[in-house]
Structure formats: C-alpha cells, structure tokens
C-alpha cells in the first residue's frame, strides 16, 4: 500500500492500526479512498448555525446573513466572519448546546468502523472550523475512532473567555477554504497511483451545492437524498447515487468493490473511473445513537436503491449501475 505524502501542517498521515476492529470483508486489492462533507452529511445540522443561533447573532440575523451569501451580495468569507464574530461564549459552554442539538447520521459509526476494518481512509473536507469538528467527532464517536478521520478545514483563534472567535482561513480568497485549491496543494507532492500500478477508487459523499467542485472529481458520488446536491445533479445531468443513511453507502460500496474486483481483478483503472478524480488520488493514497441525550429507534428506510444516472457533463464519466 502506498505511503501518504501530504503537508504535515495540513494533513497528518493517516494511520490505520490493524486488528482494531474485526474485519467484516476481505479487503479488495484496489485501494478505496473516501472524502466527505461534514455539516448536513455526517451530521444533520450545521455546527456553526447551532452556535450562531444560540450564542451569537440569533436565528433571524443568521438567516439574513445566509441570504447575502445566496444572492451574492457578499462573499462567504465576509459573511462567515460576521457570524463567527457575533459569538460570545466559551468554547466548552458553546459545545454543550452542540451536544444537545446535533444529530449524527444513525449509521455513520458502523460505516466508519467498516472503513477502518477494511483499510479505507475516510477524510473530512469542510468550510467549518477544525477545532469544532474534531471535538464533535471525539464526543460522538470517541477519540480513538475519531483519530482515524483526517479533517481538512479552517483553523480558529478562540479566546479563553469566548469573546473572540476568529477563523484562520486556509486560503486568502472569498471562500476562505477553497476545497479544490486544497487538493491542488497536495497534487504536486503525492503519488497518483498505488505501488502495484492500480488506481484507487475515489468516493465523495455530500449534501449541498458547495460540494460540487469536489464532487465532480470523484469516481463515485453519493448525494444525500432530497437535498440540494441531489437536485443539482439532476438539473446538470451528473451521475450520482442517492443515500438516506451511511448504511446505504456501505451497501452500495460493498457492491461496487465486488463489481470492480470481478471486472478488473483490482488492477489498472477502476470499473467506475473518472479521470478528473486524479487530483483526489494525489491527495491521499493510503490506505449508534443519533444524539447523545437520547436513544431513538431509527425509522425503517428503503433499501432497494438504484443509481440515478443521466448523460455525463464530462467524458468519460463513470456509469454506475445497480
């Protein structure tokens, strides 16, 4: 398995201890690498919005600021600085409301254990603040398991008394964190192929339009059902697989890995291959309960999923079939 060659300050090397969790599936020869959005994807709510609504500008003002982003009146970075700047709460106190209000995807914990046991790196790419995202993962899935997830996000300066919350942006532009630019940074220093010459399968999971710059570059795209990313894929004829929970993703991923093994024996290009995913390949080449406050039975979700496929917007585009 190839080693990771990433900027130490940006992406520490992923380490997956063997034997931590019993293997549930024979590993495929092909490397699989997963990149995922955080807010609205792993968690149902937006971590920042919860803080702003309860300890900052409030719901009404936050919605007004959100509208400025949607209409293009002001940049994401400028509006976000206003939102974070409105906070006046100690980090620990602010985290209490997140523990109460946040809901994690009910099947994410099991899915991530599946990734660990099968040597599949799982990486978070987010426009949020890394200290918050790391703390949320530490609490909801435990520090040991959280340590297996690499987070690429903005840093932050938070004063001890909570009077200052200042994002430290990854990029000096209107986005603050340009996900595509992050990948370009890694592109020049990491290998694009596995040591045996096979090409990793790149998977992206998301929910919103902001995920599109990254989602277009994946071999396989999972879009949360009923949200804007799915709508955008339909409108723009982009191939994707809808999901309700990460259990759906696990089921489809197992199927895709098996189909790839049967058709390629894990060698060369994956059966679902998108040449635009190459910069993701360069970025990385290594290999529950929904709330803390209550235990609620999950609703039974439909299991018979088909890929929603339309004519691709680039060539070649992976044709995913059930």
Rounded Cα gap, residues 79 and 77, in angstroms: 6
Rounded Cα gap, residues 41 and 44, in angstroms: 6
Handedness of CA 125, 81, 137, 249 (dihedral sign): negative
Q: Is the pLDDT of residue 306 over 50?
A: no
Handedness of CA 297, 299, 305, 308 (dihedral sign): negative
What value does the mean pLDDT take over residues 176-189?
A: 52
What value does the mean pLDDT take over residues 142-162?
A: 93
Domain boundaries, the chain: 32-44+105-283, 48-100
pLDDT for the residue numbered 299: 33
Using the structure block, give the residue that is written with the tokens 């040597």.
119
Per-residue pLDDT band for 170 (boundaries 50, 70, 90) equals confident
- Cβ atoms of 274 and 208 within 8 Å: the answer is no
Q: To the nearest whole percent, how much of the chain has pLDDT over 70?
A: 68
Burial track 285-297 (b if 16+ CB lie within 10 A, e otherwise): bbbbebbeeeeee
Residue 39 annotated in active site? yes
Q: To the nearest whole percent, how much of the chain has pLDDT over 90?
A: 41
Rounded Cα gap, residues 214 and 297, in angstroms: 33
Q: Which of 39, 105, 107, 248 is catalytic?
A: 39
pLDDT for the residue numbered 272: 79
Fold for domain 32-44+105-283?
Rossmann fold (3.40.50)
Per-residue pLDDT band for 57 (boundaries 50, 70, 90) equals very high
Distance of CA 204 to the CA centre of its chain: 7
Per-residue pLDDT band for 182 (boundaries 50, 70, 90) equals low
pLDDT for the residue numbered 17: 44
Tell me the HSE value of 56 on the side-chain side, using a 13 A CA sphere: 28
Q: Tell me which residue of 144, 149, 281, 131 sits closest to 203, measured CA to CA.
A: 281
Each residue's pLDDT tens digit, 240-253: 999 999 999 999 99
Per-residue pLDDT band for 178 (boundaries 50, 70, 90) equals low
Average pLDDT, the chain: 75
Using the structure block, give the residue that is written with the tokens 């093994």.
261
Rounded Cα gap, residues 96 and 90, in angstroms: 10
Least confident of 11-20, 109-118, 213-222: 11-20
Residue 37 annotated in active site? yes
Token digits of residue 36: 């995922």
What value does the mean pLDDT take over residues 184-199?
A: 50
pLDDT for the residue numbered 318: 34
pLDDT for the residue numbered 203: 87
Q: Is the pLDDT of residue 189 over 50?
A: no
Give CA separation, 115 vs 18, 34, 35, 144, 322, in Å.
12, 9, 12, 14, 21
Least confident of 20-24, 126-130, 134-138: 20-24
Token digits of residue 202: 């790149």
pLDDT for the residue numbered 194: 55
Token digits of residue 103: 């809901």
Beta bridge partners of 240: 308
How many separate helices (H) and strands (E) can be counted in the chain? 12, 7
Each residue's pLDDT tens digit, 192-229: 445 656 678 888 899 986 777 777 777 899 999 999 88
Question: Would you give the DSSP letter of residue 39?
Answer: B
Q: Which of 31, 37, 109, 252 is catalytic?
A: 37
Give whichever of 57-71, 174-188, 267-281 has the largest mean pLDDT: 57-71
pLDDT for the residue numbered 223: 93
- Cβ atoms of 35 and 280 within 8 Å: the answer is yes
Write down the pTM of the prediction. 0.73
Q: Of how many residues is the chain composed? A: 322
pLDDT for the residue numbered 96: 93
Distance of CA 75 to the CA centre of its chain: 22
Burial class (CB in 10 A: 0-12, 13-18, 19+), 322: exposed
- Cβ atoms of 222 and 108 within 8 Å: the answer is no
- Cβ atoms of 142 and 56 within 8 Å: the answer is no
Pairing of strands 149-158, 165-168: antiparallel
């Amino acid at each position: 398995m190839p080693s990771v060659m990433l900027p130490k300050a940006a992406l520490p090397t992923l380490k997956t201890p063997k034997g931590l969790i019993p293997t549930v599936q024979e590993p495929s020869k092909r490397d699989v690498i997963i990149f995922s959005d955080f807010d609205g994807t792993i968690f149902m709510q937006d971590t920042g919005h919860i803080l702003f609504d309860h300890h900052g500008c409030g719901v009404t003002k936050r919605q007004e600021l959100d509208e400025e982003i949607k209409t293009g009146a002001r940049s994401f970075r400028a509006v976000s600085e206003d939102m974070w700047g409105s906070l006046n709460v100690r980090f620990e106190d602010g985290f209490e409301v997140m523990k109460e209000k946040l809901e994690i995807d009910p099947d994410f914990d099991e899915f991530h254990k599946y990734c660990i046991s099968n040597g599949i790196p799982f990486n978070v790419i987010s426009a949020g603040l890394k200290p918050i995202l790391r703390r949320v993962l530490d609490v909801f899935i435990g520090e040991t398991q959280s340590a297996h997830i690499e987070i690429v996000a903005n840093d932050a300066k938070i004063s001890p008394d909570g009077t200052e919350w200042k994002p430290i942006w990854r990029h000096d532009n209107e986005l603050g964190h340009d996900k595509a630019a992050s990948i370009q940074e890694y592109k020049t220093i990491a290998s694009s192929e596995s040591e045996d010459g096979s090409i990793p399968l790149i998977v992206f999971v998301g929910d919103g339009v902001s995920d599109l710059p990254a989602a277009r570059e994946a071999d396989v795209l999972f879009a949360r059902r009923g949200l804007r990313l799915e709508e955008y894929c339909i409108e723009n004829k982009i191939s994707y697989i809808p999901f309700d929970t990460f259990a759906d993703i696990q089921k489809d991923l197992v199927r895709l890995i098996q189909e790839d093994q049967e058709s390629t024996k894990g060698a060369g290009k994956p059966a679902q291959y998108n040449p635009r995913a190459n910069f993701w390949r360069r970025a990385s080449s290594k290999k529950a309960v929904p709330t803390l406050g209550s235990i609620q039975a999950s609703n039974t979700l439909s299991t018979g999923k088909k890929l929603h496929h339309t004519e691709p917007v680039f060539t070649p585009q992976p044709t995913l079939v059930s």
